[in-house]
Amino acid sequence: MNDVTLTINGKPVSGVTEPRVTLLDYLRDVAGLKGTHAGCEHGVCGACTVLIDGIAVRSCLMLAVQAEGVDITTIEGIGGSGAHAGELGVIQDAFCETHGLQCGYCTPGMILTAEALLSVNIDPTEHEVREAISGNICRCTGYVQIVEAILLAAKRLGQRNDAATSDTTVA
Amino acid sequence: MSEQKYKFLSTPRRPVEDRRFVAGRGKFIADLDRPNMLHVAPLASHYAAAVINGIDASAALAMPGVVDVITGAELAAAVEPLMNGLNTPNVRRFPLAVDRVRYAGEWVCAVVAESRALAEDALEKIIVDATPQPFILDAEAALLETSAPVHPEHGSNLLLDRKFVWGPVDDDFEAAAHSLSFSVTWGRNSTVPIETFGVLAEWNGWDQMLDIWASIQMPKYADQIARSLNLPSNAIRVHYDVDVGGSYGVKRGIKHSVLVGYIARKLGCPVRLIEDRLENMRAGDAHGPERKFDITIAFDQDGTVRSMKMRALDNAGAYAGRAPFQLGKPISAIVGPYQINSVAYHALSVTTNKTVQEAVRGFGQAPTNYAIETAMDRVAEYLGMDRLALRQKNLIREDQFPYLIPSGSYYDSGDYHAVIDKVLAAADYPAMLAERDRLRDAGMMAGIGIAACLEPSGGNSSFEPLLNESNQTSTWMESCQVNIDALGKVTARIHTTSSGQGHETLVSTVLGEVMQIDPELIRITRPNSLESLPGNSPVGSRMAIMLGGAAARAGEKLKAKIMAIAAHRLGVAIDQLRYEGGDVLAHDGRCLGWDEMVELAHRQYHNLPDGMDPGLASFDIMQVPTGDALPVNDKVQMYPCYSFEFHLLLVSFDPIIGRPDIHSYFIGHDCGTVINPAIVSGMTYGGIAHGIGAALFEEFAYDANGQLLTQSFLDYLMPSSHEVPAIQIVKHCTPSPHTVFGQKGSGESGYLGAPAAVSGAINDAVSGLGIHFEKLPIRMSAISDAIAAKTS
């Protein structure tokens, strides 16, 4: 058994766990963050996607002990928490707007993948969105409304940036 | 358009469920932990068929953290066999194999341990002494008398062998100018949700209560557990507030649930079983139909299709379950959207040494639609007639509804020609044809796929009495409860789990419409089974019709009570009042507001009409519309409503590589009045994606030894965002006369026609080479091999 301390959503989380425990199982069973979902547990479906230093990573293919010293973001780190629970992030809100989900099981992984995409590409084409989420399998939606959601979020984030830029100019 | 009739219905509204899911705050089965919970891991059979001589679990039991090892022999002595749909009492199925295994992957025994990891470790220590037996994989071979029965006690592999003749088949064939025969096969696939099946059971000996949480989508789930475990049905409490991570029919883990329920009761503590992906694929008992069709079709020179003979042979896998019934539902739309005067239908279901079949989206309708649509393409090819024109000639016309089909069901409503015309216009069909020809001129194989089909919806289960005469069930209901509390807020209860269909949105929208209050202000709860009214869960594309119907009727009852209270209070007749936005207005200008009515109902009994009960609560238990009779002479009205869909797509591929690229995909969709447009569109897109998978990629393939080859997502290929194109939905609305708002079902939309349409496109692309692909999925390798064989 190992003492493992990870930085999850900006906070340190400590726990004792076996070396063989995946990051996915650590997040769910040790950190108690149930928003990261097990789908295939062999790295194909993307349901367990988290961000490691801002990059979308499959938490089922990584051991918890390997994740020390990096910044891990799970779906619980997106949008409001605590007293702000219920406040959606821009991408989450766009998924609600277009109904880019049905059962909600692949959704956290999709949203984190979209977060990773839009953090490096503020104005993606539809093809770039499809490329970004092509490692995340959704059985409900046929991806159409997911693509719509991410493009909508990009547009809104762009408008927000434009507004911020113009504010700066005025100042 | 009907849309303008409604304030909330058919308007773009955010589904209420989405908020918790985008935040990762859904409550899925694997998210539930109970104190001192134990975990189960099943041991899978290596053999497709074997006799079990003995199981030595001593080394496993000696491991730290291992609590118990359950065998089939122990289980069979303690529980009743799982339910079969047909009268096949000697096809006995228990959660664990008893004496013999019947497919590779079947659960032989189950380890119970303090963690799933420890349970899996212990599996490796169990020694099973087994003697391999002859096995059978092919359905035609299973029919032969020389083939060993999968269940020797049953005497053969035949589960179902029923011949129906509806209408003057012989006369129609005699009179027809032409006939042709062909065979097609629907490969074994399934819906494969991203969440595997899971169940948690907890026994409380002081209360004598078994609590169950499960990712379930199953009618009469609690009853089936009670029967198997020999417990009173009111000692089973299924919690419906579990979010199900996708199902599309298959989440019916009854064997898992009985196993876990038994262990929980035996050990007196909470027990959870969550399938891993391998278990889900090979032994989740959730494969879909694997069906061979032999079809002969009779038609005239002008393209009029007169009659059809269909033999459908389904490979049910190792146990019966409800699999044979998936040959029954298609009887409700056995002629598709066409005027075919007579049909002979021979339905056969056999056991083989493959994984057990379960209900899959459409309950057997998608394979049958694929067969019918292939027939239409073949007739057109035979006559040298345009495929579209042939369909248009044979489609039921708008002025013929309600339309009685030979097998006894009335189609409720539709305007198929109008939907097709809209799609052709939206797609610019001449331009699509020109693009196909341009691609062909450029050296590509290019084809257009066309499919028209129906989605029987409303979900009664009259195929049960039709295929099993001892089953006299005609009742197939759904229910809803509504309460207006003392502060005037509305809460409604629904009595099932949901797996992405948006039932909370459905009920709040419908109730909001009826009560004329903002759906956002209506709370929806899901109690447990003991606090619920009867229902039959979201199967058969029924909830918009049935749950929406029950919610609307419960709302109307409340409204009627409010009007009666107001009439008494104002001293006028009810017909002098009108309900508007939650208030009641009298013809003389007086008004009673919502809050005043709530006050009267909850606090002023003295001001209520004589004999009226206090409070504002109602419920409705609704029987499926038109579901009022048992079969007579092999005919019965099956589903109340029939949604229509028309698919049109353009595909191309390189003749050497053979990888299909879908350029454009159009679907015309008419499911009557739409409750929530985003939900209906989403289901349709998702159904098409699933259908593309069935047509091109997805198959549970077995090797000659009966081993499942495609048991991970690396080899069971599902469409990604690259394989599913942008899809354009062309909407049309023909309300159903049988439902409260004219709504029909849409939960299976897209999937019911996409496989036929994609197959048609691939076949059109290779038509110049004289190739017919006669089995789904049509893999890249099959395409390139067939072309190579023709052109080399």
Which secondary-structure segment (H or E) carries B586? strand B583-586
Q: Would the CB atoms of B722 and A34 count as touching at under 8 Å?
A: no
Q: Residue B3 above 50 pLDDT?
A: no
Q: Is B327 domain-assigned? A: no
Q: Residue B687 above 50 pLDDT?
A: yes
Do B213 and B101 fall within a single domain? yes
The domain boundary residue, chosen from A58, A77, A96: A77
The domain boundary residue, chosen from B582, B597, B623: B623
pLDDT digits (tens, 9 = 90+) for A91-141: 999 999 999 999 999 999 999 999 999 999 999 999 999 999 999 999 999
Q: Residue B497 above 90 pLDDT?
A: yes
Query: Binning pLDDT at 50, 70 and 90, where does residue B2 land?
Result: very low
The residue in chain B having the minimum alpha-carbon distance to the alpha carbon of residue A38 is: B195
Do B412 and B500 fall within a single domain? no
Q: Is B702 domain-assigned? A: yes
Q: Residue A11 above 80 pLDDT?
A: yes
Q: Is A170 domain-assigned? A: no
Q: Is B57 domain-assigned? A: yes
Do B568 and B647 fall within a single domain? no
What are φ and ψ of residue B558, in 5° steps?
Answer: -65, -40
List CB contacts (< 8 A) between B25 and chain A.
35
pLDDT digits (tens, 9 = 90+) for B742-760: 999 999 999 999 999 999 9
Segment among A38-42, A165-169, B16-20, B784-788 with least mean pLDDT = A165-169
Between CA B383 and CA B487 the distance in angstroms is 70
Do A132 and A72 fall within a single domain? no
Mean pLDDT along residues A43-58: 98
Do A72 and A88 fall within a single domain? no
Q: Is A171 domain-assigned? A: no
Tell me the shortest Cα–Cα distance from B241 to chain A, in angstroms.
14
Q: Is B248 domain-assigned? A: yes
Of the partner residues B246, B681, B750, the one whose CB lies closest to the CB of residue A103 = B246
Q: Residue A169 above 70 pLDDT?
A: no
Do A30 and A63 fall within a single domain? yes
Answer whether B414's CB lies under 8 Å from B642's CB: yes
pLDDT of residue A166: 64
| pLDDT above 90: percentage of residues in chain B | 99
The domain boundary residue, chosen from A77, A112, A134: A77
Do A55 and A97 fall within a single domain? no
Residue ranges of B 383-422 with Cβ closer than 8 A to chain A: none
Do B645 and B677 fall within a single domain? yes
pLDDT digits (tens, 9 = 90+) for B549-584: 999 999 999 999 999 999 999 999 999 999 999 999
Give the range of the structural domain holding residue A86, as residue numbers without chain letter.
82-163
pLDDT of residue A162: 76
- Please report the beta strands in B352-412, taking only residues with DSSP state E, as ranges in sequence order: 403-404, 410-411
Do A115 and A65 fall within a single domain? no
Q: Is A52 domain-assigned? A: yes
Q: Is A168 domain-assigned? A: no
Do A72 and A96 fall within a single domain? no
- CB atoms inside a 10 Å sphere around CB B783: 25
Helical H runs in B619-699?
A: 677-696
Q: Is B139 domain-assigned? A: no
Do B565 and B642 fall within a single domain? no
List CB contacts (< 8 A) between A34 and chain B.
24, 28, 30-31
pLDDT of residue B7: 96
Of the partner residues B500, B687, B689, the one whose CB lies closest to the CB of residue A104 = B500
Selected residue of B21, B499, B714, B728 to mutate for chain A interface (largest A Cβ count, 10 A) = B21
pLDDT of residue B1: 42
Q: Is A169 domain-assigned? A: no
pLDDT of residue A80: 84
Q: Residue A158 above 70 pLDDT?
A: yes
Mean pLDDT along residues B461-469: 93
CATH no. for residue B395? 3.30.365.10
Q: Is A118 domain-assigned? A: yes
Give the range of the structural domain holding residue B559, as residue numbers without chain letter.
2-25+477-623
CATH no. for residue B67? 3.90.1170.50
Residue ranges of B 11-40 with Cβ closer than 8 A to chain A: 14-15, 17-26, 28, 30-31
pLDDT of residue B771: 97
Q: Would the CB atoms of B277 and A41 count as touching at under 8 Å?
A: yes
Number of compact structural domains in chain B: 3
Query: Binning pLDDT at 50, 70 and 90, where does residue B543 land?
Result: very high
Q: Would the CB atoms of B30 and A34 count as touching at under 8 Å?
A: yes
The closest of B722, B286, B15 to A107, measured between CA atoms, is B15
Token pair for B104: 């590779």
Q: Residue B374 above 50 pLDDT?
A: yes
List CB contacts (< 8 A) between A79 and chain B.
22-23
Q: Is B481 domain-assigned? A: yes
The closest of B446, B383, B471, B476 to B87, measured between CA atoms, is B471
Q: Is A37 exposed, middle or buried (0-12, 13-18, 19+ CB in 10 A)?
A: buried
Query: Binning pLDDT at 50, 70 and 90, where does residue B424 land?
Result: very high
Do A69 and A86 fall within a single domain? no
Q: Residue B389 above 80 pLDDT?
A: yes
Mean pLDDT along residues B241-270: 97
Q: Is A123 domain-assigned? A: yes
The residue in chain A having the minimum alpha-carbon distance to the alpha carbon of residue B728 is: A144
Averaged confidence pLDDT in chain B: 97
Give the CA distances from residue B55 to residues B102, B117, B267, in Å, rounded to whole numbers and listed in that order: 16, 21, 21
List CB contacts (< 8 A) between B682 and chain A.
99, 102, 140-142, 144-145
Query: Binning pLDDT at 50, 70 and 90, where does residue A170 land?
Result: very low
Residue ranges of B 39-58 with Cβ closer than 8 A to chain A: none
Give yes or no for B678 touching A (CB within 8 A). Answer: yes
The domain boundary residue, chosen from A27, A59, A77: A77
pLDDT digits (tens, 9 = 90+) for B619-657: 999 999 999 999 999 999 999 999 999 999 999 999 999
Do B244 and B100 fall within a single domain? yes
Q: Would the CB atoms of B194 and A135 count as touching at under 8 Å?
A: no
Do A97 and A154 fall within a single domain? yes
Mean pLDDT along residues B290-314: 98
Q: Would the CB atoms of A108 and B24 count as touching at under 8 Å?
A: yes
Q: Is B148 domain-assigned? A: no
Is the bond into B456 cis (omega within 30 degrees of 0)? Answer: no
The domain boundary residue, chosen from B215, B243, B274: B274
Q: Residue B236 above 60 pLDDT?
A: yes
Do B646 and B614 fall within a single domain? no
The domain boundary residue, chosen from B623, B658, B676: B623
Do A71 and A101 fall within a single domain? no
Do A116 and A47 fall within a single domain? no
Do B483 and B456 fall within a single domain? no
Do B396 and B484 fall within a single domain? no
Q: Would the CB atoms of B194 and A145 count as touching at under 8 Å?
A: no
Tell me the shortest Cα–Cα distance from A166 to chain B, in angstroms.
31
Do B112 and B87 fall within a single domain? yes
Q: Is A134 domain-assigned? A: yes
For residue B641, give the 3-state DSSP assignment.
Answer: strand
Do B82 and B204 fall within a single domain? yes
| pLDDT above 70: percentage of residues in chain B | 99
Do A57 and A92 fall within a single domain? no
pLDDT of residue A1: 86
Number of compact structural domains in chain A: 2
Mean pLDDT along residues B773-789: 97
Do A91 and A67 fall within a single domain? no
CATH no. for residue A117? 1.10.150.120
Do B683 and B665 fall within a single domain? yes
Burial B599-628 (b: 16+ CB within 10 A, else e): bbbbeeeeebeeeeeebbbbbbbbbbbbbe
pLDDT of residue A31: 97
ipTM beyond 0.90? yes
Segment among A82-96, B127-141, B254-268, B277-291 with least mean pLDDT = A82-96
Mean pLDDT along residues B228-245: 98
Q: Is B321 domain-assigned? A: no
Q: Residue B721 above 70 pLDDT?
A: yes
Residue A127 CB partners (closer than 8 Å, separation 6+): none
Tallying the residues shown for chain A, one arrives at: 171
